[in-house]
């Protein structure tokens, strides 16, 4: 295990921050990482590996499609559908670890000039909006999965039903929702 020392907070307003990497815990000396946060980190790390696997599969499929088209004039069947599914998986399963590390794009030149309490209020507001949006994504994917299960819909190029894909994506958004919950709990206890 790697260790990184984090300075102790000087005041109530100061927030301690540490980063996560797939397969590695960075343990601050200030306080122990709670069990629920370790569990959410493990799930978000797993989802990151799913995202990386989807990228590798997409690259291999694209290479195979180009090779089959160029040499044998036989394209890979269902390339469009597979690309659509894999791109959604890459984004959905990459979000939890990105959010855990706060590596997402952030334009905060105006917010940084505001008082600390206003910044924390805006952060809470952002997390509440994210919880609502993740709830909508999860519920709509579950509704779509149920509909596809009942009607047994398939894509044009992929011969099997596509309802498991919607359940899988709903699980990815649930991972993201759990990360947002940890972020909200950490904000409440002044640890980021």
Q: What is the pTM of this model?
A: 0.77
Under a CB-based contact definition with an 8 Å cutoff, are residues 49 and 22 in contact? yes
Q: pLDDT tier at 16 (50, 70, 90 boundaries)?
A: low
Q: Give pLDDT, residue 17.
A: 55
**Is the confidence at residue 11, as pLDDT, over 70?**
no
More confidently predicted of 188 and 143: 143
**Is the confidence at residue 2, as pLDDT, over 50?**
no
d(CA 125, CA 127): 5
In the chain, domain spans: 2-188
DSSP for 17-75? ----BTTB-EE-SSSPPPHHHHHHHHHHHHHHHHHHHHHHHHHHHHHHHHHHHHHHS-P
More confidently predicted of 4 and 124: 124
Q: Each residue of 29-41: pLDDT tens digit?
A: 335 678 888 889 8
Mean pLDDT of the chain: 82
Percent of the chain with pLDDT over 90: 39
Q: Each residue of 64-109: pLDDT tens digit?
A: 989 999 888 888 778 888 888 899 999 999 999 888 888 877 777 8
More confidently predicted of 6 and 66: 66
More confidently predicted of 101 and 62: 62
Under a CB-based contact definition with an 8 Å cutoff, are residues 45 and 22 in contact? yes
Least confident of 16-20, 134-138, 184-188: 16-20
Q: Give pLDDT, residue 132.
A: 97
Q: Give pLDDT, residue 30.
A: 39
**Is the confidence at residue 118, as pLDDT, over 70?**
yes
Q: Tell me how many degrees the CA angle 16-18-21 measures, rounded to the nearest 5.
A: 170
DSSP count for the chain of H helices, then E strands: 4, 2
More confidently predicted of 116 and 174: 174
**CB-based contacts of 32, cutoff 8 Å, min separation 6:** none
Q: Give pLDDT, residue 18.
A: 56
């Amino acid at each position: 295990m790697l260790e990184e020392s984090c300075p102790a907070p000087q005041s109530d307003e100061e927030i301690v921050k540490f980063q996560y990497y797939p397969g590695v815990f960075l343990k601050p000396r200030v306080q122990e990482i709670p069990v629920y946060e370790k569990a959410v980190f493990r799930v978000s790390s797993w989802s990151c590996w799913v995202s990386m696997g989807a990228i590798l599969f997409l690259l291999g499929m694209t290479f195979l499609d180009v090779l089959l088209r160029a040499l044998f004039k036989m394209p890979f069947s269902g390339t469009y559908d597979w690309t659509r599914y894999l791109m959604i998986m890459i984004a959905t399963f990459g979000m939890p670890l990105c959010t855990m590390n706060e590596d997402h794009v952030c334009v905060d030149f105006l917010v940084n000039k505001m008082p600390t309490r206003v910044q924390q209020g805006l952060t809470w507001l952002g997390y509440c909006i994210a919880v609502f949006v993740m709830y909508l994504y999860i519920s709509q994917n579950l509704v779509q999965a149920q509909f596809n299960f009942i009607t047994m819909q398939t894509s044009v190029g992929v011969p099997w039903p596509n309802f498991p894909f919607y359940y899988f994506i709903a699980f990815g958004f649930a991972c993201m929702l759990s990360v947002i919950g940890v972020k909200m709990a950490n904000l409440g206890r002044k640890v980021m």
